[in-house]
A and B are shown apart, each in its own frame.
Chain A
């Protein structure tokens, strides 16, 4: 494939992100409208979109502000909800580690589920693209501008119609998350983690300050890890003909493939 110029790479990144931009628009709108149901001032909502720029943690923060929590729970929840970005960053690191510190910091700030999905797929097609960081920037910056515009629209709309939430527009988030979760349940350990997290989230949703979310995620990850490792041990026993090391290696390679496919399919809504 020919190497594009900086601006052509930037535009290509933005263009490939257009479906995600359309998908994220209603969430920006809903987030902005949700702010009207919290004690936050309207401009606090825009400040959050400008500085935090992480959709699901902004939604949860709006909920936490509405119930009234302390700094520690808010920040710990933000940390947990955003942890998945570390996985994205680890996946993309080989393609950015040669860049200057300023570039790496900027691309890190712009990293979202959507931009990860688009950019990792680009690097899958062109692993050695020397203009890949411009593509990444085009995707990230277009998502950022889009998020600001729809947050503002939602803030203005929410201030005018404070009972918007009762229409149930937040179901759009449920539907989008389902579209991300279900394909990842194709492999058993991830399916088990999902079911355990969902059941725990329901059982713990009475806990104060949405601590149930943290409990559910911890239990879900623990269950998934147990399932992954139990299967690996079974794989070792199930092939008595092979030497112990061979069997273990085979099991590990299979699970690594699973892990990679989980990483690359982790894209979707914010």
Chain B
């Protein structure tokens, strides 16, 4: 694989997605169903990225155990975020639990 070509292709796709609507300007009108569908993109993409990282951090099977620091810390982060809606607090609490678990509890 030619990596420069691969990266420049990614850049072209990304630019088309980000700037396409700005460049087309008034000529673009979204149908209602497409606006609705796009509104689900952030939650579905981000969730689909992190769920396998959390449930199967080593890529080979479910690790539903308290010895899985990704899972424990993710559950704490979800609880903190649901209770406080505070972004930095969520990230801080998640990282604190993750490293405590990784370096302290399991060490």
Contacts and interface: CB of A to CB of B under 8 A. Distances in A.
Interface of A: 19, 23, 39-41, 44, 47-48, 51-54, 56-57, 60-61, 65, 68, 70-71, 74-75, 78-87, 89-90, 92-93, 96-97, 101, 104-105, 107-109, 111, 168, 170-185, 189-190, 193-194, 196-202, 205, 212-213, 216-217, 220-221, 224-225, 228, 255, 259, 262-263, 266, 268
Given A56-B45, A212-B48, A96 B22 contact: yes
Interface string B1-31: 1011111111101110111111101101010
In this complex, the interface size class of chain B, counting residues with CB under 8 Å from chain A, is 35 or more
Contacts of B62: 202
A159 B89 CA distance: 31
Contacts, number: 259
Interface in B16-72: 17-23, 25-26, 28, 30, 33, 35-56, 59, 62, 69-70
B6 A104 contact: no
Given A84-B45, A90-B30, A193-B44, A176 B18 contact: no
Contacts of A84: 38, 41-42, 45
User: Which of B8, B37, B40, B46 has most chain A Cβ within 10 Å?
Assistant: B40
Contacts of A85: 14, 17-18
Contacts of A41: 3
29 contacts: A19-B88, A41-B3, A51-B7, A52-B10, A56-B46, A71-B1, A74-B9, A78-B10, A78-B13, A83-B38, A101-B23, A108-B19, A111-B19, A172-B95, A173-B49, A174-B54, A174-B70, A175-B94, A175-B98, A176-B91, A178-B94, A180-B87, A197-B48, A198-B47, A201-B51, A216-B47, A216-B48, A220-B40, A220-B44
Given A90-B35, A198-B51, A202-B52, A181 B18 contact: no
Per DSSP, are chain A's interface residues mostly helix, strand or loop, or mixed? helix
Interface of B: 1, 3-11, 13-15, 17-23, 25-26, 28, 30, 33, 35-56, 59, 62, 69-70, 73-74, 77-78, 81-82, 85, 87-88, 90-91, 94-95, 98, 102
Contacts of B55: 202
Per DSSP, are chain B's interface residues mostly helix, strand or loop, or mixed? helix
A104 B26 CA distance: 12
